[in-house]
Amino acid sequence: MADYRISCVARVPRGDHHHITSAGVVRPGVKARVTSVKKIRKAIKAGTDTFHTVDPTTHQSVPVERFKCCGVKTIRSLADDAKTDNLDALPSCD
């Protein structure tokens, strides 16, 4: 099983918020790449890979999980009170 850090995200607007459609994934020794949310969700469900973000202030690793919003299958960082470790806080992969 591989563990990937999500370093950036691509978003599309959805009403008064947005949904993540793909993410930049990084793993030591492997070239960074952009992966679709569909592939990330599939890997999480299968248990073949794990994904996380890193809080820039505490350097704590925060797991990423499958999530459904407005009927759209997407991902999110594990829900907590910190905003700095959220996928929403990451830069765009553009």
Could you tell me if residue 31 is inside a domain?
Answer: yes
Contact 41/73 with Cβ under 8 angstroms? yes
Percent of the chain residues topping a pLDDT of 70: 93
pLDDT-wise least confident of 14-18, 39-43, 90-94:
14-18
One-letter amino acid of 77 = S
Could you tell me if residue 38 is inside a domain?
Answer: yes
Range(s) of the domain holding residue 14 = 2-89
- In order of 6, 12, 30, 62, 66, the CA distances from 78 in angstroms are 13, 21, 25, 6, 9
Could you tell me if residue 56 is inside a domain?
Answer: yes
- The model carries a pTM of 0.87
Could you tell me if residue 35 is inside a domain?
Answer: yes
- Separation CA 59–CA 12 (nearest Å): 28
Could you tell me if residue 80 is inside a domain?
Answer: yes
Instruction: Please write the tens of the pLDDT for every residue from 71-84.
Output: 889 999 886 665 65
Could you tell me if residue 57 is inside a domain?
Answer: yes
Could you tell me if residue 94 is inside a domain?
Answer: no
Q: What are phi and psi of 39, to 5 degrees?
A: -70, -40
Number of independent structural domains in the chain: 1
**pLDDT at residue 57, rounded to an integer:** 82
